[in-house]
Chains A and B, each alone.
Chain A
Amino acid sequence: MKNLPIIFCGIFFILAFSWVGVILSTHSQFGSLQPTSSQLLNAETLEPVDGMNYTDAQAKVVPAVNNLDDVQYPMALVGKAQRGREAYISLGCLYCHSQQVRRKGFGSDFERNWGSRQSVPRDYIRQERVLLGSMRTGPDLMTIGQRNIDESWYLLNLYNPQINSEGSNMPPYAFLFEKHKIDPLLGPSPKALKLPAKYAIESGYEVLPTERAEALVAYLLSLKLDYELPEAKFSQ
């Protein structure tokens, strides 16, 4: 092959082409999405508009604006839940748990109550690191904070998953808990895990969650898809 410059141009442009196509163009398409209210309003009449519909009855395009009285979704993660998210990243929960809901009719996400609507790009814009995941060795967690609101269930599940779901291959995260001697004056701590008899530890001791375990649970409890977006309404 004699035309080396042509080969180099080809090598360069082929990757440039896919970079522009896959990444830069999607970035320009939805890389600047903003939080929004569930229901947009017609900018002129302040009447609610249907979904992302920007045209009125005469097929005239009208600008749609956020309803400023409404909450803007998605909401930001704060405090403890944010720290829990860091633990989620550092422990690698993502390698068994995805955070995405597929549309009704594609897979069984809807039937498994993993979400009432498909997750869409706007749901992820507040996340500094997007944790979509690509494995479901464990269930999807996009809406886990809606499916289960009992904090102690989460703590037991982290301490030993066999307590809640026998036969699971989720590893126990007992290192997120501490074994303490029960204080003879104060009695058992209100935070102590209520372990079933089968998993009880020696008497006189109790298992307390560390700050990280509590933060992780706060994060999981914050995972919800209980709001609608103009482009994503709950499926029937």
Chain B
Amino acid sequence: MSAIGSFYSSIKPGSSSDVSERAKLSEIDASMKWPALLFLVSAALWLLAGTFFAMVTAIKMTNPAYLADVEWLTFGHIRSAHLNAVIYGWSFNAAFAVGLWIMARLCHSRIRHTAILMVAGCFWNIGVSIGIFGIFAGDMTSVEWLEMPTYITPLIAFAFALIGVWAVIAFRFRQSSPVYVSQWYILAAIFWFPWLYSIAQIMILFEPARGTVQALTNWWYAHNLVGLWLTPIGLASAYYFIPKVLGVPIHSYYLSFIGFWALAFFSSWAGASHLIGGPVPAWVISVGVVASVMMILPVVVTAMNHHMTVRGRWNQVWISPTLRFVVFGAISYTLVSVTGAAMALRQVSEITHFTHFTVGHTHQGVYAFFTMIMFGAVYYIMPRLLEREWPSAMLIRTHFWCCASGITLMIVSLMVGGWIQGTQMIALKPVPVVVTENAATPTNAEQPKASTEQVTTTATSATHSAAVQTAPDQEVKLLPKYEFIEVVRNTIPWLHLRSMSGILLMVGHLAFAINFFWMAVKPKEQRDREGKPTLLVEENTQSVSAK
């Protein structure tokens, strides 16, 4: 128990009565102030840009003529600009700020030479800006999750290297000896991303591998960008903030140990499951399917650990802005991984592959899980950087409710719509066809096989013919039950619903941005000097996040 006890105090010095301990933490926070603010402000601006691109994309999906004459804003461009703005703009900046801040705090080490870190931050954001400009200008690579043109690769690789090195330096200068699971996650993620990124850049763009090895590399990268970069940073935050705000140790150190290694082991192999049915060797897909299904293990372990930590303290979760978001994200982690495991099954993939279901799944992972946890982290970190409180609890509540309901609506509409799209796409119906012997060469170019018999459809494709009398010269052929265009038309109502969910998210993000920038510029008030945190349930006087 003594180990747990010492570990407990090591992660929770903020509420200890030790004044020198708290002074030290304030010093660490102060050393991180400008770099963290740079990353958070960039993240917030990218979030707004990404949301705007997303809205235009969503409208274009249902009203294709919208802004169609502007080549810069054609669907392929704006959709890719959205993805890259929210991934490389919002997610990475938020991850840098939160990851470095947690690392510095857990290591009890000040961040040194912050000017260099800020130069790296500027390089990163300039790189991403040029990259997104390049996408609009038509220099897009059309490699999923790597759309930004190759001329920005050196810039953002260099920026990432500097940022990563700074996190490692903070770790090297750590004052506290026990290493907490959040630190593992952050260190591992900082090591994994450059590897993934450089392999993907080299094997797909600079020295392209032959044929569909590229596709495997692409999905190895894209899956692991979420699984081995965003997920570790998100989980590191959940593991840090849940015990921190509640003021209790994490339920089980050993469960977090299993969760970490199982995530690393299985997630790194799961990418190939995105290519089920595709032109790659069956064995690599099978391995991907197994790994995806096995992802249930780390997820259940992590979920149990978080749940047992939170159990009995739901009231505190509800009144703390940080925890409300973080716990929403942690629950989503379970849901997204279970969905992912199900989607990797061949029978399910046959339906969901190539449909909007996959888009829903991606948003579940990157938004409902990662982004919500990052919001929670920002609500915790900002008051400690600026030494003032959030100006409006009402805006935080608006933010939470709009984002929580918006992302739920988005996931439901895309998944239900995508499921319907997938089932209609593969649905077949028997149609009687006349077999004429000894027909001339096939006239329809769709049947390149030089067949000796030509088949002619006698029934129109709209006819439902479940019970067809088959004459001797007729045989039954399976044809698609729905024309392709019917399937497309049937998705439109669901895409409208998705656009509505986008409006909710946009309102939520505006509430967040107003609160964020208002806080950054407002003068200090009496309340800030007292360090009275902004809580979501006013009447509850219970001290939640003691500073």
Q: How far is the CA of A135 from the CA of B489 in the complex (A)?
A: 16
When distances are taken between beta carbons in the complex, the residues of chain A under 8 Å from B416 are none
Indicate if the CB atoms of B280 and A12 lie closer than 8 Å.
no
Assess whether B364 is interfacial by the CB under 8 Å rule: no
Q: How far is the CA of A118 from the CA of B282 in the complex (A)?
A: 13
Indicate if the CB atoms of A107 and B426 lie closer than 8 Å.
yes
Assess whether B498 is interfacial by the CB under 8 Å rule: no
Binds B, one of A28-36, A56-64, A180-188, A200-208: A28-36
Most buried by B among A21, A118, A122, A170: A21
Interface size class of B (residues with CB under 8 A): 35 or more
Indicate if the CB atoms of B188 and A135 lie closer than 8 Å.
no
Task: Give 1 or 0 for each of B255-268: 1 = CB within 8 Å of chain A CB.
Answer: 00100010011001
Chain B residue nearest to A138 (CB atoms) is B488
Indicate if the CB atoms of A90 and B143 lie closer than 8 Å.
no
How far apart are B357's CB and chain A's nearest CB, in angstroms? 11
Indicate if the CB atoms of A146 and B64 lie closer than 8 Å.
no
Q: How far is the CA of A174 from the CA of B71 in the complex (A)?
A: 9
Q: Which of B482-518 contact A (CB under 8 A)?
A: 484-485, 488-489, 491-492, 495
Indicate if the CB atoms of A14 and B264 lie closer than 8 Å.
yes
Indicate if the CB atoms of B215 and A130 lie closer than 8 Å.
yes
Pick from A19, A102, A168, A234: contact of B64, CB below 8 A.
A168
Task: Give 1 or 0 for each of A86-127: 1 = CB within 8 Å of chain B CB.
Answer: 001111111110101011001110011100101111111101
Assess whether A7 is interfacial by the CB under 8 Å rule: yes
With A30-B213, A127-B211 known as contacts, the answer to whether A14 contacts B75 (CB < 8 A) is no
Task: Give 1 or 0 for each of A36-69: 1 = CB within 8 Å of chain B CB.
Answer: 0000000000000000000000000000000000
Assess whether A11 is interfacial by the CB under 8 Å rule: yes
Indicate if the CB atoms of A139 and B484 lie closer than 8 Å.
yes
With A12-B191, A130-B215, A135-B354 known as contacts, the answer to whether A111 contacts B428 (CB < 8 A) is yes
When distances are taken between beta carbons in the complex, the residues of chain A under 8 Å from B6 are none
Assess whether A4 is interfacial by the CB under 8 Å rule: yes
Assess whether B216 is interfacial by the CB under 8 Å rule: yes
Assess whether A22 is interfacial by the CB under 8 Å rule: yes
Indicate if the CB atoms of B184 and A21 lie closer than 8 Å.
no
How far apart are B22's CB and chain A's nearest CB, in angstroms? 26
Indicate if the CB atoms of A124 and B426 lie closer than 8 Å.
no
Indicate if the CB atoms of B179 and A1 lie closer than 8 Å.
yes
Pick from B71, B216, B428: contact of A175, CB below 8 A.
B71
Chain B residue nearest to A91 (CB atoms) is B76
How far apart are B482's CB and chain A's nearest CB, in angstroms? 9
Q: Which of B281-318 contact A (CB under 8 A)?
A: 281, 284, 287-288
Indicate if the CB atoms of A136 and B142 lie closer than 8 Å.
no
Pick from B60, B142, B147, B449: contact of A171, CB below 8 A.
B60
How far apart are B236's CB and chain A's nearest CB, in angstroms? 14
When distances are taken between beta carbons in the complex, the residues of chain B under 8 Å from A225 are 448
Q: How far is the CA of A212 from the CA of B425 in the complex (A)?
A: 32
When distances are taken between beta carbons in the complex, the residues of chain B under 8 Å from A191 are none
When distances are taken between beta carbons in the complex, the residues of chain B under 8 Å from A161 are 64
Q: Which of A74-89 contact B (CB under 8 A)?
A: 88-89
Indicate if the CB atoms of A112 and B480 lie closer than 8 Å.
yes
Taking A17-B268, A23-B220, A91-B74 as known contacts, 17 extra A-B pairs with beta carbons closer than 8 A to each other, sorted by chain A number, are A10-B264, A14-B268, A15-B228, A30-B212, A92-B77, A95-B79, A96-B75, A100-B278, A106-B350, A107-B426, A116-B448, A124-B211, A134-B353, A134-B354, A139-B484, A166-B485, A172-B65
> What are 27 A-B interface contacts by the 8 Å CB criterion?
A1-B179, A11-B187, A11-B192, A15-B196, A15-B228, A22-B216, A27-B210, A27-B213, A30-B210, A92-B74, A92-B80, A92-B140, A98-B354, A100-B277, A107-B425, A112-B484, A119-B279, A132-B212, A132-B215, A134-B274, A134-B353, A135-B355, A147-B445, A147-B446, A166-B485, A173-B68, A234-B449
